[in-house]
Copies of this chain bind each other. A is one copy, B any other.
Amino acid sequence: MKQARTRRPPLIGRLVVFGVGLIGGSFAAALKKHQAVGHVVGVGRSRANLLAAKRLGIIDEITSDPARAVRDADLVLIAVPLGQTRAVMTKIAPHLGPHTIVTDAGSTKRDVIEHARRSLGDAFSRFVPAHPIAGTEKSGARAADAELFADHLLVVTPERATDPRAVKRVLAAWKLAGMRTVSMDADEHDRVLALTSHLPHVVAYALAGQIAGYADAKRLFQYTGGGFRDTTRIASSSTEMWRDICIANRGALLKAVDDYTAGLARMRKAIAVGNGRTLEKFFNQARAARAKWLPKR
A interface residues with partner B (beta carbon < 8 Å)? 83, 133-136, 152-153, 155, 192-193, 195-197, 199-214, 217-237, 239-240, 242-244, 246-247, 250, 253-254, 257-261, 263-265, 267-268, 271-272, 274, 276, 279-280, 282-295, 297
Query: Does more than half of chain A's interface fall in helix, strand or loop, or is it mixed?
Result: helix
B231 touches A295 (CB 8 A): no
Residues from chain B with Cβ under 8 Å of A267 in the complex:
202, 205-206, 257
State whether A271 and B257 are in contact (beta carbons under 8 Å apart), knowing that A83-B276, A200-B207, A223-B192 are contacts in the complex. Answer: yes
Kindly report how many copies of this chain are found in the complex they form together.
2
Contact B207 A203 (CB under 8 A): yes
Pick the contact of A242: B229, B240, B283 (CB < 8 A): B283
Q: Which residues of B contact A265 (CB under 8 A)?
A: 261
A250-B271, A260-B206 known; A197 and B285 CB under 8 Å? no
The answer to whether B286 and A232 touch across the interface, beta carbons within 8 angstroms, is yes
Please tell me if the beta carbons of B240 and A285 are within 8 angstroms of each other in the complex: no
A282 to B276, CA, bound (A): 34
Known contacts A200-B228, A205-B267; A290/B243 CB under 8 A: no
In the complex the two chains form, what is the Cα distance from A68 to B244 in whole Å? 65
Chain B residue nearest in CB terms to A247: B274
> Given the known A-B contacts A221-B295, A282-B209, are A231 and B200 also in contact in the complex, defined by CB atoms under 8 Å?
yes
A206, A234, A291 interface centre (most CB from chain B within 10 Å): A206
